[in-house]
């Protein structure tokens, strides 16, 4: 019968490229596999040498920190390092570290090419994931972790005691990523704030990891470790955890590290109750739809109405609830139900011969989610007769993190004959960048420019520039927050196509009776 070492070798070659065994002094005792690939002519030339001889000084620190953590955890990786017999033969690879037991003196290492490990992302030099990608995949990571009875999946959040830059910051980020689950589940949440997902087999593992990170990088920080499993299994616990991380990233005073450390269970339970309330509202469709007219400034006739959700009969703004839905990852559920409600209303109106045209808001976050876009595309195909009457309005209440994915979604919508409007243009720093990447039919100019343009020459200049740019790009424009005749005349004079605001009508729970101008084509 083969000994366990031979079993490790066989397993290593089924998933990796090189198998390495090191003794308690971290010297190589066995090495097999594609040795030429890492510049080693014969296995014997590597045996007896410290494994750190084959990596750079910076990577040696990362590798040492991983090996030191194996005292508690039995496996770690991939630790991404440059590995080879010489500087010229070093390749970027992922090292999977493991021991058979906590008392084992030998460490087994499987080395894998980053091309095999990361696929298309192999050439990326960024050690940290972007925050939105990190938070989007976190629930799936936690769900998968529930199936592993040998360890828990935890999330630790860090706040640096001083500002880092240059090599110090680069080294810290590489070390943070190396100690995270899978070597790529860490992110920067904001200036001096970080988060990482990691495994733990006992209560001391999380603190041991933090101590290792501090000692190997020389950086000082405060930290808090959160465990979604303390609230039980299920997606709501994961959503509550995502929400806490977002609030920490925003430096919310109610979600400081101290608050999270001392009141974590209470905060998570409160968040989970809010999630359940929102889910109930959506499931039972306990909301109304208000409609606000958008007017053609040249004809002064109604062009279309915008459908706006209202969660109470007073018609108050739902901004806080929608923002919460975005932050806990439920905006896709909300958008789907709102879309279905508007489509049903529009189909009913069209069947009665009403000249109705309605814009429905969809979050950019939903439109960068593959499953949501796939379902939306199918729904639009089933409602082709509404093309020219149903307008998709992309909201920017959440920062757009994946312009390529959003651009693809918009192209699919427009290819089916439905017009797309970009909301709140100019509200953020990236507005003009969005316009370069996204092919849309209509742009809504943020109302703050309209509000200030009467008395502020700078706002008026920006308003004029945005109108001119969109006209040159053959994109129609809507000016928001139009409340006075003077604002109406100003928008007309600079060539803005449409207007929306209290001057033309407040949002109402009933459709305007006169929708004769609503069939104007969006072209």
Domain-embedded: residue 212 = yes
Residue 290 and residue 246 in one domain: no
- Domain residues for the domain of 323 are 285-519
Q: What is the pLDDT of residue 519?
A: 39
Rounded Cα–Cα distance for residues 494 and 505 (Å): 22
66 close to 47: Cβ distance less than 8 angstroms: no
Instruction: Look at residue 384 and tell me whether its pLDDT is greater than 90.
Output: yes
Q: What is the pLDDT of residue 430?
A: 60
Residue 322 and residue 200 in one domain: no
Domain-embedded: residue 126 = no
Of 278, 304, 319, the position where a domain reaches its end is: 278
Instruction: Using alpha carbons, list the distances in angstroms from residue 469 to 420, 423, 492.
Output: 18, 16, 16
Residue 291 and residue 408 in one domain: yes
Residue 79 and residue 106 in one domain: yes
56 close to 82: Cβ distance less than 8 angstroms: yes
Rounded Cα–Cα distance for residues 162 and 150 (Å): 36
Q: What is the mean pLDDT of residues 11-18?
A: 71
Q: What is the pLDDT of residue 520?
A: 43
At residue 191, the 3 state secondary structure works out as coil
Instruction: Look at residue 293 and tell me whether its pLDDT is greater than 50.
Output: yes
Of 239, 255, 278, the position where a domain reaches its end is: 278
Q: What is the pLDDT of residue 379?
A: 98
Instruction: Look at residue 149 and tell me whether its pLDDT is greater than 70.
Output: no
Helix or strand run (H / E) with residue 310:
strand 302-310
Q: Tell which wins on pLDDT, 8 or 163.
A: 163
Across 117-126, 464-473, 508-517, the highest mean pLDDT is recorded for 464-473
Q: Provide the domain count of the chain.
A: 3
pLDDT digits (tens, 9 = 90+) for 27-66: 999 998 889 989 998 999 999 999 999 999 989 988 988 8
Q: Tell which wins on pLDDT, 117 or 383.
A: 383
Residue 98 and residue 160 in one domain: no
Residue 20 and residue 41 in one domain: yes
Q: What is the mean pLDDT of residues 77-100?
A: 89
Question: Of 73-77, 171-175, 468-472, which gets the smallest average pLDDT?
Answer: 73-77
* Mean pLDDT rounded to a whole number for the chain: 87
419 close to 437: Cβ distance less than 8 angstroms: no
Residue 107 and residue 239 in one domain: no
Q: What is the pLDDT of residue 10?
A: 63
Domain-embedded: residue 327 = yes
Domain-embedded: residue 356 = yes
Residue 115 and residue 145 in one domain: no
Q: CA angle, 393 as apex, 390 and 394 as ends, to 5°?
A: 145
Q: What is the pLDDT of residue 159?
A: 95
| Burial label, 79 (beta-carbon count in 10 A; 0-12, 13-18, 19+) | buried
CATH of residue 224's domain is 3.30.70
Instruction: Look at residue 356 and tell me whether its pLDDT is greater than 50.
Output: yes
Residue 108 and residue 179 in one domain: no
Helix or strand run (H / E) with residue 275:
helix 257-283
Residue 328 and residue 229 in one domain: no
Instruction: Look at residue 267 and tell me whether its pLDDT is greater than 70.
Output: yes
Q: What is the pLDDT of residue 340?
A: 97
Residue 274 and residue 294 in one domain: no
Percent of residues, the chain, with pLDDT higher than 90 = 51
pLDDT digits (tens, 9 = 90+) for 460-511: 999 999 999 999 999 999 999 999 999 999 999 999 999 999 999 999 998 8
């Amino acid at each position: 019968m083969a000994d366990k070492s031979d079993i490790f070798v066989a397993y290593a070659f089924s998933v990796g490229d090189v198998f390495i065994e090191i003794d308690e002094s971290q010297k190589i005792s066995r090495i097999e596999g594609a040795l030429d690939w890492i510049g080693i002519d014969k296995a014997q030339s590597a045996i007896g040498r410290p494994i750190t001889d084959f990596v750079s000084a910076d990577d040696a620190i990362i590798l040492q920190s991983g090996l030191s953590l194996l005292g508690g955890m039995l496996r770690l990786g991939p630790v991404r390092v440059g590995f080879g017999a010489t500087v010229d033969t070093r390749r970027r690879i992922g090292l999977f570290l493991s021991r058979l037991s906590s008392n084992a003196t030998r460490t087994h290492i499987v080395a894998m090419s980053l091309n095999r490990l990361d696929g298309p992302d192999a050439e990326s030099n960024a050690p940290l994931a972007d925050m939105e990608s990190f938070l989007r995949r976190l629930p799936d990571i936690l769900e998968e972790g529930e199936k592993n009875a040998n360890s828990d999946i935890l999330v630790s959040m860090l706040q640096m005691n001083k500002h880092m830059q240059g090599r110090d910051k680069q080294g810290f980020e590489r070390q943070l990523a190396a100690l995270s689950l899978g070597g790529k589940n860490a992110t920067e949440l904001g200036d001096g704030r970080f988060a990482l997902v990691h495994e733990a087999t006992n209560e001391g593992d999380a603190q041991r990891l933090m101590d290792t990170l501090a000692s190997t990088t020389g950086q000082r920080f405060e930290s808090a470790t959160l465990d979604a499993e303390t609230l039980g299994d299920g997606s709501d616990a994961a959503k509550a955890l995502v929400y806490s991380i977002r609030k920490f990233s925003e430096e919310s005073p109610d979600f400081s590290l101290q608050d999270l450390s001392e009141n974590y269970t209470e905060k998570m339970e409160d968040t989970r109750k809010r999630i359940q309330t929102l889910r109930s509202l959506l499931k039972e469709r306990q909301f109304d739809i208000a409609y606000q007219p958008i007017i053609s400034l040249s004809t002064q006739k109604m062009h279309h109405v915008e459908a706006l959700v209202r969660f109470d009969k007073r018609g108050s703004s739902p901004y806080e609830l929608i923002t919460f839905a975005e932050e806990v990852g439920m905006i896709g559920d909300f958008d789907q139900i709102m879309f279905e409600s508007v489509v049903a209303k529009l189909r009913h109106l069209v069947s009665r011969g009403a000249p109705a045209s309605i814009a429905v808001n969809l979050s950019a976050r939903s439109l960068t989610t593959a499953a949501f876009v796939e379902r939306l595309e199918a729904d639009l195909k089933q409602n082709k007769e509404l093309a020219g009457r149903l307008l998709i309005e992309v909201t920017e209440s959440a920062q757009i993190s994946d312009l390529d994915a959003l651009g693809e979604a918009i192209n699919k919508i427009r290819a089916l004959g439905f017009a797309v409007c970009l909301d709140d243009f100019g509200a953020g720093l990236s507005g003009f960048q969005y316009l370069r990447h996204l092919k849309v039919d209509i742009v809504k100019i943020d109302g703050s420019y309209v509000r200030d343009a009467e008395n502020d020459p700078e706002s008026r200049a920006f308003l004029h520039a945005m109108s001119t740019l969109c006209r040159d790009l053959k994109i129609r424009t809507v000016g928001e927050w139009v409340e006075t005749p003077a604002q109406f005349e100003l928008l007309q004079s600079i060539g803005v196509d449409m207007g929306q605001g209290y001057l033309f009508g407040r949002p109402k729970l009933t459709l305007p009776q006169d929708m004769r101008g609503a069939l104007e084509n969006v072209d």
